[in-house]
């Protein structure tokens, strides 16, 4: 008798195992069901910053199409030769034209101005440069905004997406410049860097 009960129990267990396996296989098949979807397009954002000259109004992207940094020759408000003790003014507007989604504020910073002599000149030592930020390019020719600025100092402005910031520069020729350097020339370079905040 014991063997009949044991065989019935074993048969029931075997049926239960087979049913369990069939149930798992059916679920497994549903888990692997495939569904089609349309392919999307992924496009990288354009980190585009442009520079606008004070006087000429010319616009230049900071990074050229070949990936190199752009150089912008600024027009100044000075007319003719700069006389000892006088100043000339220039400025540049930094435009944040990125098409990135969401908030995309950048920080533009000038480094210390570099004044270098042209060949055969010794004028650079008599030139001082001040850099400040302003609300508009029109303010660059106002001497009062340079009052607290350090000579050869730096300036920094945060520019929101689609916004603009302004750097103004005052170039002054020393009143103690000797007559021996009269008519000579020098070059002034003021690098501007921009980083995302």
* Angle formed at CA 133 by CA 91 and CA 106, multiple of 5 degrees: 100
pLDDT for 9: 61
pLDDT digits (tens, 9 = 90+) for 119-164: 989 999 999 999 999 999 889 989 999 998 998 889 999 999 999 9
Q: Please determine, for residue 28, whether its predicted confidence score (pLDDT) is greater than 80.
A: no
Provide the pLDDT for residue 65: 80
More confident position, 37 or 98: 98
* Paired tokens of 57: 């109004």
Q: Which two tokens stand for residue 189?
A: 């370079």
What's the pLDDT score for residue 39?
Answer: 64
Task: Tell me the average pLDDT of the chain.
Answer: 80
Beta-strand (E) ranges in 111-151? 114-117, 127-134
What's phi and psi for 11, nearest 5 deg? -65, -40
Going across the sheet that includes 106-110, the strands are 156-159, 106-110, 192-196
Q: Comparing C-alpha atoms, which of 121, 125, 129, 131 is closest to residue 176?
A: 125
Judge whether 131 and 168 are in contact, CB under 8 Å: yes
> pLDDT (tens digit, 9 = 90+) per residue, 68-107?
887 777 766 654 567 899 998 888 999 998 887 778 899 9
Polymer length of the chain: 197
As a whole number of angstroms, the distance between CA 169 and CA 150 comes to 11
């Amino acid at each position: 008798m014991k063997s009949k009960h044991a065989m019935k129990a074993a048969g029931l267990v075997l049926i239960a195992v087979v049913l369990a396996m069939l149930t798992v296989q059916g679920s497994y098949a549903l888990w692997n069901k495939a569904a089609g979807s349309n392919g999307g397009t992924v496009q990288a954002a354009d980190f585009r910053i442009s520079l606008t000259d004070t006087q000429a109004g010319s616009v230049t992207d900071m990074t050229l199409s070949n990936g190199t940094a752009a150089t912008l020759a600024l027009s100044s408000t000075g007319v003719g030769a700069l006389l000892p003790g006088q100043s000339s003014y220039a400025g540049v507007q930094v435009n944040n034209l990125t098409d990135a989604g969401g908030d995309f504020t950048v920080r533009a910073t000038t480094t210390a101005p570099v004044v270098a002599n042209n060949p055969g000149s010794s004028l650079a030592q008599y030139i001082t440069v001040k850099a400040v930020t302003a609300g508009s390019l029109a303010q660059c020719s106002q001497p009062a905004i340079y009052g607290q600025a350090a000579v050869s100092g730096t300036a920094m402005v945060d520019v929101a997406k689609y916004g603009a910031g302004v750097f103004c520069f005052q170039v002054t020729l020393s009143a103690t410049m000797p007559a021996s350097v009269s008519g000579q020339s020098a070059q002034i370079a003021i690098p501007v860097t921009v980083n995302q905040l």
